[in-house]
Amino acid sequence: MAMYKALVIECAHDNQVLCLAFNVAKDELYSGSEDTAIKVWDTQHGRLIRRQEGHRSWVTDLLFAADIRMLFSCSLDHTVAAWTDRGQRIQVLDFGSAAFSLGWSVKRRVLAVGGNGELHLYTATPIDGGVLGAATLTAGSSGSACLAPLYAPFRAPDSCHTDIIRDIVCTPAGIIWTISYDGAIFMYEVDRPRAVRRIDTKGSQAIMCSAAFDVINGWLLTGAVDGSLAMWSQEGRCLEVMRDLGGKRQSCPICRTFSPLHSPYSHLCYQQKKETLNQINAPSMSPTFSHISRAMSLPRREMVSDTSMRGISWMGR
């Protein structure tokens, strides 16, 4: 599968880019950074469409919910923000502590927010009109807020991780998987709040840094900082661990369609359909991208987008 370099923006932000999200309908890519800003890019030409301000610290994760056409962001400033697809901020929710990761369950329109030793689930309702602007609403607020708590927060040590939740994966059936620096995997069910399951990885991998769900095989995929990729059954059984795929001291980011395992100037991608690893060479990639920290796929156009330091690059077929 030959890939070509589509676009490179080497100075997309003033500081390191931490997260990406994609709006398929509008061909827009969202980027969040340590500079506290969210930027919106035209994926056809790499043009900056707008800059969205509001967070007071690092933007740690972004998520676009296509079914309600809303963007969600979380930050180290202890807030989760909800935005329309036109850039209007309609709610700022006080999370109570630093928030690190987001997940979206389409089954009941539930937003999952991961913190340090805690997981919060909120129901999300699209708002027609009535922009709330900069009003800050706590988790218990009433009124026209689009986010409302679904259950009481899950907290460590009994029902959540004991460290930062690094990634959240939601399945179409309403299962929510979380991974953390504590080395465990937790599984939640949207319809059964008490059915919390902790999976001990038993040293199968090093520190896990990313996860994805293989919808074809029904597997959870986890990537670790040692460059390994593990496959887990829905019962929590480790099916296989592929090691040293990204080289030593290389992170192993995973995205929705592909699972890129990065080394300088090349990509190793796990393809769900073929269950194989294919190398994608990018010899003309800028040296700025020699150590890539995050990656995601762009649906429909079969493209891969990744970030490194302050830049963003697009790759496609």
At 270 the pLDDT is 44
How high is the pLDDT of residue 159? 95
Query: How many CA atoms lie less than 13 Å away from 163 in the CB half-sphere?
Result: 12
Domain 54-200 grouped into CATH 3.50.50.60: no
Q: Is the pLDDT of residue 149 over 60?
A: yes
Helix (H, G, I), strand (E, B) or coil at 233: coil
pLDDT digits (tens, 9 = 90+) for 60-99: 999 999 999 999 999 999 999 999 999 999 999 999 999 9
- Which distant-in-sequence residues (6+ apart) come within 8 Å of 268 by Cβ? 245, 246, 260, 261, 262, 277, 278, 279, 280
Longest dimension (CA), the chain: 54
The tokens describing 195, both together, are: 């059915």
**Res. 209: pLDDT tops 70:** yes
- The pLDDT of residue 316 is 57
Nearest to 55 by CA among 38, 36, 72, 33: 36
- As annotated, the residues of the chain forming the CATH 2.130.10.10 domain(s) are 1-14+213-317, 54-200
CB-hemisphere CA count at 13 Å for 196? 17
User: Which whole number is the average pLDDT over 93-111?
Assistant: 95
Rounded mean pLDDT, 261-277? 41
CATH class of 1-14+213-317: mainly beta
CA dihedral 183, 189, 190, 191 (to 10 degrees): -160
Instruction: Give the 3-state secondary structure percentages of the chain, helix then strand then coil, rounded to 5.
Output: 0, 50, 45
CA 110, CA 170: separation in Å to the nearest integer?
10
Under a CB-based contact definition with an 8 Å cutoff, are residues 32 and 307 in contact? no
Beta bridge partners of 93: 80, 137
C-alpha to C-alpha distance for 289 and 266, rounded to whole angstroms: 10
Alpha carbon of 194 to those of 147, 188, 197: distances in Å? 21, 8, 9
Contact between residue 36 and residue 55 where contact means Cβ atoms under 8 Å apart: yes
- Look up residue 49 and give its two tokens: 């469409």
Closest CA to 284 of 7, 12, 13: 7
Q: List Cα–Cα distances, 129 to 86, 91, 132, in angstroms.
A: 12, 13, 9
Average pLDDT rounded to a whole number, residues 142-166: 86
The CA-based dihedral angle spanning residues 248, 275, 267, 206, taken in that order and rounded to the nearest 10 degrees: -20
Q: For residue 154, how far is the Cα from the chain centroid?
A: 20
Report the C-alpha gap between 198 and 250 in whole angstroms: 27
Average pLDDT, the chain: 77
Contact 126, 172 (CB under 8 A): no
Please determine, for residue 27, whether its predicted confidence score (pLDDT) is greater than 60.
Answer: yes
Q: What are phi and psi of 64, to 5 degrees?
A: -110, 120
Are 147 and 91 spatial neighbours (Cβ–Cβ below 8 Å)? yes
Position 206 scores a pLDDT of: 78
Most confident of 3-17, 207-221, 236-250, 261-275: 207-221
- Name the percent of the chain lying above pLDDT 70: 70
Tell me the per-residue pLDDT of 182-196, one tens digit each, with 9 for 90 and over: 989 999 999 998 889
Q: Is 206 exposed, middle or buried (0-12, 13-18, 19+ CB in 10 A)?
A: middle
pLDDT at 156: 94
